[in-house]
Amino acid sequence: MSNVLKILKFPDPRLRKVAVPVEKFDKSLQNLADDMLELMYKENGIGLAATQVDRHIRLIVIDISEERDSPQIFVNPSFEVISDDSMLSFEEGCLSVPGFNEEIVRPDNIVLRWQDINGNEHIDSPSGLLTVCIQHEIDHLDGKLMVDYISPMKRDRIKKKLLKK
């Protein structure tokens, strides 16, 4: 790895920063995406947002495949909820909140727009785990965490436990 990336852990205030759009699709963007994928695989995650490695640009990497052989890179991702009728409840984990899993409900029907590593635009309707994961990652880019969906009391307990480590 050209750059040593470390994953920020809740309640690090840097996880609350709002990431800015990517404007330059250059080699350094490709390098960061590659390093993030390497770290994501090393940590056995299915996704990683640049915010989690203290780079505050709108870049996420994902691999939801069992085989761990289908890396996906999303630059400047955004989504629209098509209908609130269909919600998906999923037990989520987060590399920035290690050791805690929480059941979180999110809209299931979304339209996703993003750019690839070369800046080309894409649009698609993801489903299932990808819908969950992409919303989890876009939350990171907006400074939002999984623990924001649970009760303040539970959140505080998790915070205290992680600060003791």
- Least distance (Å) between residue 143 CB and Ni ion: 12
- Nearest residue to 61 via CA among 49, 70, 76: 49
Residue 94 within binding range of Ni ion, rule CB under 5 A = yes
Q: Are strands 121-124 and 47-49 parallel, antiparallel or unpaired?
A: unpaired
112 contacts 123 by C-beta, under 8 angstroms? yes
Residue 141 within binding range of ligand GNR, rule CB under 6 A = no
Is 137 known to be catalytic? yes
Q: Are strands 47-49 and 59-62 parallel, antiparallel or unpaired?
A: antiparallel
Q: Which of residues 66-125 bind ligand GNR (CB under 6 A)?
A: 90, 92-96
- Least distance (Å) between residue 165 CB and ligand GNR: 17
- Least distance (Å) between residue 96 CB and ligand GNR: 6
Which residues are tagged catalytic? 137
